[in-house]
Structure 1
Amino acid sequence: MRERSGAPRAVVPRAAAVPGAAAALVLALLLLVIVRLPWAGDLGMHAATVERLRHRLADPGNPLVDADTPSPYYSPWTLLLGCLARLSGLSVFVVLRVGALAGLALLVTGVWRYVRTLSAHRAAPPLALLGLVLLWGTVPLNWSGFLGLNSLALTVSYPSVCALGLAFHLWAWLARALRGPAGRGTWPGLGALWAVILLCHQFSGVVASLGALAAVLAARAGPAVWARLGAGLATGLVALWWWPYYDFFALLGAGGSLEPVHRPLYRDLPGRYWLVLLGVAALVPRWRRDHRDVLVLFFALGALVFAAGGLSGHYSWGRALPAALLPAQLAAALEPVRAGRRAVRAGWACALSGALAVGTWAQAGTVGYVVGRGALPEPVAARYRTPWTGYHWITPWVRYGDVVMARTLPARQIPAYGAYTVAPGYPDFFLPDEERRREAVRRYFAAGTPEAVRRDIVREYGVRWVVDRGAGPRRDGLRAVARGPGGQVLYRVR
């Protein structure tokens, strides 16, 4: 049900000014972060994906290793960025900055449109933006698809931000289609948009699907609407089946290799999310007003999937947690501006202001990605996490397509500069010899491995370079050519 503010008309602009200014400051911070583009997590994977598409748009091959395999990272979003890189000649990191700007714009406009379907109050959209990035906990969680301020600063150039932005647009479009007459192309368009979200970021696609299901259940749709939904769903399934860069439906069997990676999502839940409890409390009056409130249903679906993943050991289902967090955060942001008694609204406003202040302090270290750690006061600097330094120092020697022998952490960054590694830095469901490659890397760097075995590994995978820590060449057939941060050395294979 769309809520109307009970505040007097003259008070509305003043009431919206403070959250509007605060949201503008948060967006300004994120824009400055994009200029710096701090490196952490999966940035190297996405940079490598764009780089492969720049060179071979139709058949890019594996983005990390020299193998002709598909990859779920070749999405409509990275394809668009790859075309931009190919046509403009811009460096991959400049293209990622452009993508970050576009993804952030999609997210902000999507939140704005969706919140407008829930409340007409002018303060609702900026309050929603603040709630989504600040109502988390005092232990920051950095993960793609999770919109905490610190996490968003590090993942703003990822496809997950674009996918979540499109998800908010999907929910807003669907809510309006469910409320009144829709054009003939509306439902197929919704299905196509749903497919694009799933292809861009599969986990955010699950969140988008749960939000769409909540909207349909809340609307008490009749048979005619369900028939139109079926047509839209069929359109989306056809688009998923047609996508040429990878088999989307094959990913349904990839859960086993992802469970260990996602197990940390079920740890330290109170520290990471306790501020969201305000949103859970805000869902209670919404449920009392309407047992089929869209945010209540959305939260219930997300919580159910997350709990089922933890109980069954399918920890990758934990990536559906934003489906519970987002509606709770939105409920907390909207409760102070709903229609009702002024004293009740004032109480919710005080609670929300306090929670947002705590959330701001908990994620204050994000400022360090703009000004650097040295410019931060010590209490804030303690909350700053130093980003990765990257491997630009190897580029004068390592050329596009060269194969580099490296351990896991360097292997997550080196492909961003055009090189391949022997083993991928991330799990790769479509790479049939992934474990064999990982074993080759382990054997190469093991202290007791005979030199003849190392030479066989070098020949098998066409290794031209080795990156390792050390003061000098420790093995036959290697010559040090460059030294990087942390005592790392680039060796040329003779």
Structure 2
Amino acid sequence: MAAPRAATALPRWLLPLAVLPAVLLLVLLLLVVVRLPWAGDLGIHAATVERLRHSLGDPGNPLVDADTPSPYYSPWTLLLGAVARASGLSVFVVLRLGALVALGLLVTGVWRYVRTLSAHRAAPALALLCLLLLWGTVPFTWSGFLGLHSLALTVAYPSVFALGLAFHLWAWLARAPRDGGRTGWGTWAGLGALWAVVLLCHQFTGVVASLGALATVLAARPARAVTARTAAAAVAGLAVLWLWPYYDFFALFGAGDGLEAVHRPLYAGLPGRFGLVLLGVAALAPRLRRDRRDPLVLFFALGLLVSAAGGLSGHYSWGRALPAALIPAQLAAALEAVEAGRRAVRAAWACLLAGALAVGAWTQAGTLGYVVDRGVLPGPVAAKYRPPWAGYHWITPWVRYGDVVMARTFPSRQIPAYGAYTVAPGYPDFFLPDEERRAAAVRRYFAAGTPPDERREILREYRVRWVVDRGPAPRTEPGLRVVARGPGGQVLYAVTGAG
């Protein structure tokens, strides 16, 4: 891979024009961390840290009362669990601290990686703006995707930590081949271990990291000595994956069929979600003309190939590789604005990019609602805000750690965050052998025509102590006692065993 292009003279106004908005967005994300809005998968990550806080060695299933492994037990959540255990801090405080670390790792990783591509002082800030804002005209939220709105809701997820590590991995890989093979074997083994940690922390981001690493190595045209060290790094990484004690990483290759329906929406509404990224795709064309083995071009091609193959073959979970196509295109858009040949061409690119970033910022303006009260926001901005989930802290005065709660799918995605278990997991669980039986038991319990005796038998079988439900009228079957009422008409019932 060629060395980063030398910086040309920059207008004095360009650097602050790029840095100031990037700083403001980072401040916004820091304020979001303080509030830590709850939506999506925060509950499973909080539950995972809670289990590790109580038992680092044998935490069991994070969602249900079963002794099974879980891919959520990663090096990152293990560290957070150890911090929670040693400090006595609540899980949500620990998640906030973890979010700060992950965000710092992400920003420094982007800075280091972009520095391997360009020497322009404005390039890292512009790259960060593109990663956060250059998406589409429809807000899109999914872990592993770096849009501002998405990052605001997933900043405490392991995917953000893994992406930060991925950027650092690419930066190290971009620099290592330039020394002609002088980098020691131990350093390369460390890079392999880092690659494995990314895969263990968030498997889908690990795929993105792998594609980026492959593109970086291919672009470097490595000498034979570097190729041997790269192979050694891969072997070291595979060894770490094989030795990880909390779950069998390689068993996850058989989990695809259970994830396809969940990921099918990734292929819907692509123009609205990612239309602005086309500017970055256009920016890849001059990079390809300059160097047919440009790392961003190779990275984009690999990501597009995997994502398109998933959509065409019905393996919709492969759509989680989309960031491997989006990230290089977004970075290319930022770099072209400061590197395009003549000054007039750079100015044209900068104007196009500024317009696209403005559209992206307006699309994701609802993120402000996670920092200030909705009533303070202007009407058009408030209309873009979607309130986060309320949570289930209201049950904690009665429900203790390890209690089993009968609940439907939606509350089952949040209740384990407070230490309780649910009968069926709120998320697909490849390692839980009786997952379908548990889900069927929950459906049967809440079905209108189920006899009271069958309901009591289900409660006894799963040692249920509490029931959470909502409805126009309270449940009246024997053996339940109303204990508390929560938001949205929800009711907490104690299972008394009477009747």
TM-score scaled by length of structure 2: 0.97
Question: Matched residues in 2 for 1:6 and 1:45: separation?
Answer: 45
Q: Residues 456-471 of structure 1 correspond to what in structure 2 (within 5 A)?
A: 456-470=457-471, 471=473
| Paired AA for residue 78 in structure 2 | L
Of 471, 474, 486, which residue of structure 2 is paired with 1:472?
474
Counterpart in the other structure of 1:308: 309
- Per the alignment, residue 417 of structure 2 pairs with 416
Kept after mapping to 2: 8 A contact 1:5/1:339: no
Q: Which residue of 2 aligns with 1:352?
A: 353
Indicate the residue corresponding to 1:483 in structure 2.
485
Q: Who is 1:138 aligned against?
A: 137
Quickly say closer, same or farther: Cα 1:226–1:493, change in 2 above 3 A. Answer: same
Contact 2:7 2:119 in 1 (8 A): no
Show CA shifts across 1:22-70 (max 9, x none).
1000000000000000000000000000000000110000000000000
- 3-state secondary structure, aligned to 2:436: helix
Deviations 1:181-211 (A, max 9, x none): 3133211011000000000000000000000
**Aligned 8 A contact 1:4 1:339 in 2:** no
In structure 2, the residue matched to 1:42 is 41
State the secondary structure of the residue aligned to 1:274: helix
Per-residue CA shift, 1:130-178, capped at 9, x if unaligned? 0001000011111000000000000000000000000000000000001
Counterpart in the other structure of 2:187? 186
Q: CA offset at residue 472 of structure 1?
A: 2.4
Q: Which residue of 2 aligns with 1:493?
A: 495
| Structure 1 residues 234 and 12: alpha-carbon distance in aligned structure 2, compared to 1, 3 A threshold | farther
- What SS does structure 2 have at the residue aligned with 1:70? coil
Once the 2 structures are TM-superposed, how far is the Cα of residue 461 of structure 1 from its aligned partner?
0.2
Q: Deviation string for 1:81-102 (max 9, x for gaps)?
A: 0000000000000000000000
In the TM superposition, 1:234-249 aligns within 5 A as 234-249=235-250
After superposition, where does 1:54-73 map in structure 2 within 5 Å? 54-73=53-72
Equivalent-residue separation in structure 2 for 1:3 and 1:481 (angstroms): 65
Amino acid at match of 1:488: Q
CA contact (8 A) 1:305 1:320 kept: yes
Question: What SS does the aligned partner of 1:371 have?
Answer: coil
SS in 2 for 1:489: strand
* Offset of residue 7 of structure 1: 3.2
Quick one: which amino acid aligns to residue 437 of structure 2?
Answer: R
Which residue does the alignment assign to 1:121?
120
1:99–1:157 contact (8 Å) kept in structure 2: yes
- Could you tell me which amino acid in structure 2 is paired with residue 211 of structure 1? G
Q: In the alignment, is residue 265 of structure 1 matched against residue 266 of structure 2?
A: yes
Q: 2:279 is aligned with what amino acid?
A: L
Q: How far did residue 12 of structure 1 move?
A: 5.5
Deviations 1:446-476 (A, max 9, x none): 0000011001100000000000003423222
Once the 2 structures are TM-superposed, how far is the Cα of residue 339 of structure 1 from its aligned partner? Answer: 5.6
Question: For the residues of structure 1 that align with 2:12 and 2:211, how far apart are their CA atoms?
Answer: 34
Partner amino acid, structure 2, of 1:400: Y
Matched letter for residue 142 of structure 1: T
Q: 2-side partners of 1:14 and 1:421: how far apart?
A: 56
The 5 Å alignment of 1:279-358 reads: 279-338=280-339, 340-358=341-359
AA in 2 matched with 1:107: L
The structural deviation recorded for 1:340 is 2.0
Counterparts of residues 203-222 of structure 1 (less than 5 Å): 203-222=204-223
What is the aligned partner in structure 1 of residue 147 from structure 2?
A: 148
**Percent pairwise identity:** 78
- Residue 4 of structure 2 contacts residue 115 of structure 2 at CA under 8 Å; is this kept in 1? no
Shift of 1:4: 3.2
Mapped to 2, the partners of 1:414 and 1:373 lie a distance apart of 26
Number of the residue aligned with 1:88? 87
Partner of 1:165: 164
SS at match of 2:129: helix
Runs of 4+ in 1 over 3 A off after TM superposition: 2-7, 11-14
Cα offset, 1:6, TM superposition: 5.1
Amino acid at match of 2:76: W
Looking at structure 1, the residues matched to 7 and 61 of structure 2 have their Cα atoms a distance apart, in angstroms, of 56
1:369 aligns with 2:370: yes
Deviation, 1:13, is: 5.1
Q: 1:396 to 1:377 in 2, by over 3 A?
A: same
Q: Go from structure 1 to structure 2 and tell me whether the alpha carbon gap of 1:265 and 1:418 turns closer, same or farther (over 3 Å shift).
A: same
Using the alignment, how far apart are the partners of 1:24 and 1:224 within structure 2? 41
Distance in 1, matches of 2:241 and 2:29, equals: 32
Q: Is this contact kept in 2: 1:3–1:339, CA < 8 A?
A: no
Asked if the contact 2:109–2:164 (Cα under 8 Å) also holds between the matched residues in 1, the reply is yes
Q: Does 1:442 align with 2:406?
A: no
- Output the aligned Cα RMSD: 0.9
Q: Does 1:77 align with 2:76?
A: yes
Q: Secondary structure at the match of 2:346?
A: helix
* Aligned partner of residue 13 in structure 2, secondary structure: helix
The 8 Å contact of residues 468 and 492 in structure 2, kept in 1 or not, is answered as yes
The alignment of Structure 1 onto Structure 2 pairs a total of residues equal to: 492
Amino acid across the alignment from 1:21: L
Cα distance change of structure 1 residues 6 and 73 upon mapping to structure 2, 3 Å threshold: closer
Give the C-alpha shift of residue 382 in structure 1.
1.3
Taking the aligned partners of 1:377 and 1:474, their CA distance within structure 2 comes to 46
Write the distance in 1 (CA, Å) between the matches of 2:162 and 2:375: 34
Structure 1 Cα separation of the partners of residues 4 and 355 of structure 2: 24
User: Is the CA contact (8 Å cut-off) linking 1:53 and 1:79 kept in structure 2?
Assistant: yes
Residue ranges of structure 2 left out of the alignment (5+ in a row): none
Structure 1 residue matching 2:285: 3-state secondary structure: helix
What secondary structure is seen at the aligned counterpart in 1 of 2:118? Answer: coil
Deviations 1:277-326 (A, max 9, x none): 00000000000001110000000000000000000000000000000000
Taking a change above 3 Å as real, the CA distance of residues 163 and 6 of structure 1, as seen in their structure-2 partners, is: closer
Secondary structure of 2:491's aligned partner: strand
CA distance in 2, matches of 1:168, 1:12: 28
Q: Aligned pair 1:52/2:51, yes or no?
A: yes
**Post-superposition offset of 1:227:** 1.0
Q: Is the 8 A contact 1:365 1:384 kept in 2?
A: yes
Structure-2 separation of matches of 1:102 and 1:72: 21
